[in-house]
A and B are shown apart, each in its own frame.
Chain A
Amino acid sequence: MEQTVKKVFVGKYSELPERLGKTVILEDKEIAVFKLANGDVRAIENRCPHRGGVLAEGMVSGEHVFCPLHDWKINVTDGLVQAPDEGCVQTFEIMKEDEQVYVLVPSEITQS
């Protein structure tokens, strides 16, 4: 089994809005990229497991984002939905090269 990783350019680090999300559109999915108050950048699937809310528009507190549709609380680092709700979202790795921020997206999983 082989997995290729696609490096997707998000933007310049200084141009990412702090405590807010940014939507990255891929062919088959959207990713929400957050620049947290401590300066870290995190990326998760832009889709709440509850009703598909766009997490990039949620309110960011620490390392959590609150879904704008029904206020589910999701950890942007490990992708876990916080109690009392349950579930998880996919997380993605971030790569920083100087000022450039990339998100690493595993693409088609192919059988070798």
Chain B
Amino acid sequence: MEKKKLVLIGNGMAGIRTIEEILKLLPEEFEITVFGKEPYPNYNRIQLSKVLQGDTEIKDITLNEWDWYEENNIRLYPGETVTKIDKDIQTVYTDKGKETPYDYLIIATGSNPFMLPLPGADKEGVTAFRDIEDCEKMIHASKNYKRAAVIGGGLLGLEAARGLLNLGMEVDVIHIADYLMERQLDRSAGKLLQEELEAQGMNFLLEKQTAEILGKKRVTGLRFNDGGKIPADLVVMAVGIKPNVQLAKDTGLEINRGIVVNDHMETNVPNIYAVGECAEHNGMVYGLVAPLYEQGQALAKHICGMNHQGYKGSVLSTQLKVSGVNVFSTGLINETDQTKSIKVFDEWRNTYKKILVEDDKLAGAVLFGDTKEGTKLLSLIKKGANVEEYLESSQSQDDNESIVVSMGDEEVICGCNGVTKGTIVNAIKTQNLTSVEEVKGCTNASRSCGTCKSLVADLLTHTLGDEYEADEKETVCACTDLSRDEVIAEIKEKHLTHSREVMNVLGWKTEEGCSKCKPALNYYLGMVYPKEHEDERESRFVNERLHANIQKDGTYSVVPRMYGGVTNAEDLRTIADVAEKYDVGMIKLTGGQRIDLLGIKKEDLPSVWKDLGMPSGYAYGKTLRTVKTCVGAEFCRFGTQDSTGMGIKLEKKFEGLNTPHKVKMGVSACPRNCAEGGIKDVGVIGLDGVWEVYVGGNGGTDLRKADLLAKVKTEDEVLEYTAAFLQYYRENARYLERTSHFVERVGLELIQEVVFNDELRQELCKRMDDALSVYKEPWNEVLESETTLRDLYEKVHAK
């Protein structure tokens, strides 16, 4: 039997999901052809903002790889646009001259960004934010320009703004309403979101309507209809989307706002269907992923001839992460005369919850900050639950227990893909799944927006019990089955203050540990009890024990401290004299702008230090190594800030700090970034009137560009944010985990959430001060202790 020809116009999320559903039902039935105007396979448009931020590649947000099309025998024509449909002979025509007949045609052309028809909207530097090409345009602009204006304070606009901030631009968001995301949030939540985003560096101009885009060839600014103006080198229009219906219209399909479809997603022309953002069902055009997927499912069943009640419309809910802040809303958002509301505003944790009740039934909800209850509220609202049912279920909720435990099997965990708890649990059990990734692969849960990942993880734990934890756990070393977190928890709970005590009490499998756990425990103990724990020299690697760098021949290198890489004639003379006196093998400038004296015998170390009379440069430790600086405003004609001064302050403050791994810093005085802060653990860039603090860069084994943590105004704030970041790293990283891996693992957003919280930041800074208070200059300490000199530096010469 000849296969039926199925043609899909639009290679996006809704269309491809429909194809996936069809393949699930009848894998061999159709000969499938897909046309997509973008030159990419189906990607996750929701995560476009990640591409904009520059650290995610297209392949990371790709949902269906090229292979997938091939494996399923789908003919894909990327970068090819369908220009005409002949509904009579059932054939489509493309801009590349292709003719393809169909038995079934699915139109999933999505939507186009709505571009305000403003004077000047055609200028260079004006863009939408809709596809990968737009992202590339914006990334390119960020390299050459500084000021961006985003028109639209809805979700899309805010994501664009966040991306542009990350790209180092200054961002104004212009919004017509008096609070943000007014379609998804109420005023209270909108204002909370605004405060949060302002703290991250966004600037808002509310109740402003743009009248004109200024500039000659390229945009230079915006004028509002109240006469006000702002400068801008890049304008992003993110005011909304409109269904892309041109082709359907030309074909003579019935169009209202979108392509009008019935419950089976059929248009008014036989064998032509529409699905996704371009379709209008029962007067509604949906722009969120969950309804689009529900439509796709309904359409697939219909095309495959399954008996199905069809699509009945969706209860809208939004569960989003805007710039690291979780927000959720569903159903009714604003109070009416008929509603009563339950409101909880927790100023301490900065969370807000509002539940609207109409005729004793749950009618809507808005959550800000903590959205764990979102899935539960959505399913209660969907089934029209009584408010009492909700109140009872939240009372019985144990705070420590995940919300998934009390959920029914039919309740939806992944809103985007409509995956229920029952489906996930069943998959975990029958297919022996043990990780979130596997669950994602099998069930699609968490595959789209990713906000339900934590729920999926909870379900794994709940279903598999300890097994799951064991699978995921990374132990400190082979001497124990405990993870870093468990060991630290025990140290705190049982007040353990010595490594040997930790090993005894926690049942170490080896007598005295190994070269992995010994230094790790010593570090953790010092981190938890900075004042109480006595550093254990026998748990230190030789370099840190002897305060010099061992070389391959058993000699050592000495690097004197040279704050900020700044020195003077007298110090240089002293160093030269010492080098001659001890006949050093090589004098070398280090990567961190210091002088390294190599080939010094262990026995000579103390006298070298004494002759130098300088503090240890700590070139050997898991600690702050160096702060590399550029010349700065004092001399450089480009410098805008005193980078050397800032570098010296940083180095003086943090020298000798014990950290999980080495920490390198760089301070530059202009965006040329001569001190290479982009590949440092902490990189500071001084701009006119502002300092940017970058974190998590690495120029070593795993090259990684640092992320912008914060923009601050003063040197004191640079010290404060650096202290908070480093303390958070000290407290949460695994021993020997560099900041680059740490930032990657926990995510910049979480770190920002913590360090931007005034309360938490101050606590971190306080604990940092405690840690720094015990610092003693190590070379001098050695010189003052005869026992240490004898124990560590003297050798025995046989007689």
Q: Is the CB of A25 within 8 A of B538?
A: no
Contacts of A25 in B (CB 8 A): 795-798
Main secondary structure of the interface of A (DSSP, over half): strand
Collect the chain B residues with CB atoms within 8 Å of residue A33's CB.
796
In the complex, the answer to whether A57 meets B542 with C-beta atoms within 8 Å is: yes
Contact residues in B for A8 (Cβ distance below 8 Å): 796, 798-799
Known: A19-B538, A57-B546. A26 touches B515 (CB 8 A): no
A69-112 interface with B by 8 A CB criterion? 69, 71, 73, 105
B518 and A61 within 8 A (CB): yes
Which chain B residues border A26 with CB–CB below 8 Å?
798
Residues of chain B within 8 A of A23, CB atoms compared = 602, 795-796
| Most interface-central of B511, B791, B797, B798 (chain A CB within 10 A) | B798
Report Cα–Cα, A61/B477, bound state, in Å. 14
Which of these, A6, A10, A18, A68, contacts B542 with CB under 8 Å? A68
Task: From known contacts A24-B795, A25-B798, infer whether A61 and B513 are also in contact, taking CB-CB under 8 Å.
Answer: yes
Could you tell me the distance in whole angstroms from the C-beta of B793 to the nearest C-beta in chain A? Answer: 10
Q: Tell me if B552 is interfacial: C-beta within 8 Å of chain A.
A: yes
Cα(A17)–Cα(B518), bound, Å: 17
Q: Does B537 contact A (CB under 8 A)?
A: yes
Name B603's closest neighbour in chain A (CB-CB): A23
Per-position binary interface string of chain A over residues 57-72, scored 1 when its CB falls under 8 Å from any chain B CB and 0 otherwise: 1111110101011010
Taking CB atoms and an 8 Å cut-off, the chain B residues in 501-515 that contact chain A are 510-515
Report chain A residues within 8 Å CB of B672.
none
> 1/0 per position for B549-587, CB-CB distance to A under 8 A?
010111000000000000000000000000000000000
A11 to B537, CA, bound (A): 21
Q: What B residues does A57 contact at CB under 8 A?
A: 542, 545-546, 550, 554
Inter-chain CA distance A73–B515, complex, in Å, is 9
Q: A59 contacts B515, CB within 8 Å?
A: yes
- Picked from A20, A37, A59, A73, the residue with its CB within 8 Å of the CB of B791 is A20
A64 to B518, CA, bound (A): 13
Given known A-B contacts A18-B538, A51-B552, A53-B554, A61 and B510 have beta carbons under 8 A apart: yes
Residues of A within 8 A of B194 (CB): none
Which of A18, A24, A60, A61 makes the CB contact (< 8 A) with B798? A24
Does B790 lie at the interface of the complex (its beta carbon under 8 Å from any beta carbon of A)?
Answer: yes
Q: Given B541, B553, B799, which contacts A59 in the complex, CB threshold below 8 Å?
A: B541
B542 touches A58 (CB 8 A): yes
Q: Provide the bound-state CA to CA distance between A53 and B545, in Å.
A: 16
Per-position 1/0 for A1-17, Cβ under 8 A of B: 00000101111000101
Please name all residues of chain A whose beta carbon is closer than 8 Å to the beta carbon of B553 when the two chains form the complex. Answer: 52
- The residue of chain B having its C-beta at the shortest distance from the C-beta of A22 within the complex is B796
The answer to whether B247 has its CB under 8 Å from any CB of chain A is no
Are B541 and A61 neighbours in the complex by a CB distance under 8 Å?
no
Q: What is the minimal beta-carbon distance from A96 to any residue of chain B, in angstroms?
A: 16
Partner of B550 from the list A24, A62, A68, A105 (CB cut-off 8 Å) is: A68
Q: Which residues of chain A are near B519, meaning CB under 8 Å?
A: 59
Q: Which residue of chain B has the shortest Cβ distance to A105 in the bound complex?
A: B798
Pick the contact of B537: A20, A61, A64 (CB < 8 A).
Answer: A20
A68–B791 Cα gap in the complex (Å)?
Answer: 18
Q: Decide yes or no: A68 and B798 within 8 Å by CB, A15-B790, A51-B552, A62-B511 being known contacts.
A: no
How many angstroms from the CA of A8 to the CA of B537 in the assembled complex? 27
Within 8 Å CB of B545, what residues of A? 57
What 1/0 flags go to A22-45 for Cβ under 8 Å of B?
111111000001000100000000
Check if B623 is an interface residue, CB within 8 A of chain A: no
Residue B792 interfacial (CB < 8 Å): yes
Q: Are B515 and A71 in contact (CB under 8 A)?
A: yes
Residue of A nearest to B540 (CB): A59
Tell me, in angstroms, the Cα distance from A27 to B798 when the chains sit together: 8
In B184-242, the 8 Å CB interface with A consists of: none
Which of B515, B539, B545, B795 has the most chain A CB atoms closer than 10 A to its own CB? Answer: B515
Establish whether residues B542 and A37, one from each chain, have CB atoms under 8 Å apart when the complex forms. Answer: no
Please, which residues of chain B bring their CB within 8 A of the CB of A71? 515
Residues of B within 8 A of A10 (CB): 796
Q: Which residue of A lies closest to B555 (CB)?
A: A54
Residue of B nearest to A66 (CB): B515
CA of A8 to CA of B791, assembled, Å: 18
A91 to B715, CA, bound (A): 58
In the assembled complex, the CB of B537 is this many whole angstroms from the nearest CB of chain A, namely 7
CB of B621, distance to nearest CB on chain A (Å): 14
The answer to whether B792 and A68 touch across the interface, beta carbons within 8 angstroms, is no
Chain A neighbourhood of B546, CB < 8 A:
57
Name B767-794 residues within 8 Å CB distance of A.
790-792
A66 and B653 alpha carbons, distance in the complex (Å): 34
Please indicate the chain A residues that have their CB under 8 angstroms from the CB of B510 in the complex.
61-62
- Min CB gap B115→A, angstroms: 61
Structural contact, B550 and A61, CB atoms closer than 8 A: no
Of chain B, the residue at the smallest CB distance from A8 is: B798
Residues of A within 8 A of B798 (CB): 6, 8-9, 24-27, 105
Complex CA distance for A69 and B543, rounded to whole angstroms: 11
Q: Mark B521-550, 1 if CB is under 8 A from A, else 0.
A: 000000000000000011111110110001
A31 to chain B, nearest CB (A): 8
Q: In the bound complex, do residue B512 and residue A9 qualify as a contact, i.e. CB atoms below 8 Å apart?
A: no
Which residue of B511, B539, B550, B797 contacts A69 across the interface (Cβ within 8 Å)?
Answer: B550
* Interchain CB contact under 8 A, B554 and A54: yes
Check A61/B796 contact, CB under 8 A, given A20-B537, A51-B552, A69-B550: no
The answer to whether B791 and A61 touch across the interface, beta carbons within 8 angstroms, is no
Which residues of chain A come closer than 8 Å to B792, judged between CB atoms?
17, 20
Which chain B residues border A51 with CB–CB below 8 Å? 552
With A and B bound together, what is the CA distance between A8 and B515 in angstroms?
A: 30
Chain A residues within an 8 Å CB radius of B552:
51-53, 69
Closest-CB distance, A10 to chain B (whole angstroms): 6
Residue of B nearest to A18 (CB): B538
Give the residue name and chain of the A residue nearest to B511 (CB): A62
Min CB–CB distance A1 → chain B (angstroms): 24
| A-side contacts of B791, CB under 8 Å | 17, 20
Bound Cα distance from A57 to B790, whole angstroms: 14
Most buried by A among B513, B539, B542, B791: B542
Closest chain-B Cβ to A71's Cβ sits at a distance in Å of: 6
- Closest chain B CB from A21 CB (angstroms): 10
Would you call B554 and A9 a contact (CB within 8 A)?
Answer: no
Which residues of A lie under 8 Å from residue B543 when comparing CB positions?
Answer: 68
Check A20–B550 contact: CB distance below 8 A. no
Q: How far is the CA of A44 from the CA of B247 in the complex (A)?
A: 84
Measured in the bound complex, the distance between the Cα atoms of B565 and A70 in whole Å is: 31
Chain B hits for A17, CB < 8 A: 791-792
Are B790 and A59 in contact (CB-based, < 8 A)?
no
10 A-B interface contacts by CB (under 8 A): A9-B799, A15-B790, A17-B792, A22-B795, A52-B553, A59-B538, A59-B542, A68-B541, A68-B543, A69-B552
- Extra pairs beyond A8-B798, A19-B512 (15, CB < 8 Å): A9-B798, A23-B602, A23-B795, A37-B511, A37-B512, A53-B552, A54-B554, A57-B545, A58-B542, A59-B518, A59-B540, A60-B538, A62-B511, A66-B514, A66-B515
Residues of B within 8 A of A (CB): 510-515, 518-519, 537-543, 545-546, 550, 552-554, 602, 790-792, 795-799
Residues in A lying within 8 Å of B, measured CB to CB: 6, 8-11, 15, 17-20, 22-27, 33, 37, 51-54, 57-62, 64, 66, 68-69, 71, 73, 105
Q: What 4 A-B pairs are tightest by C-beta distance, nearest first?
A: A19-B538, A66-B515, A17-B791, A62-B511
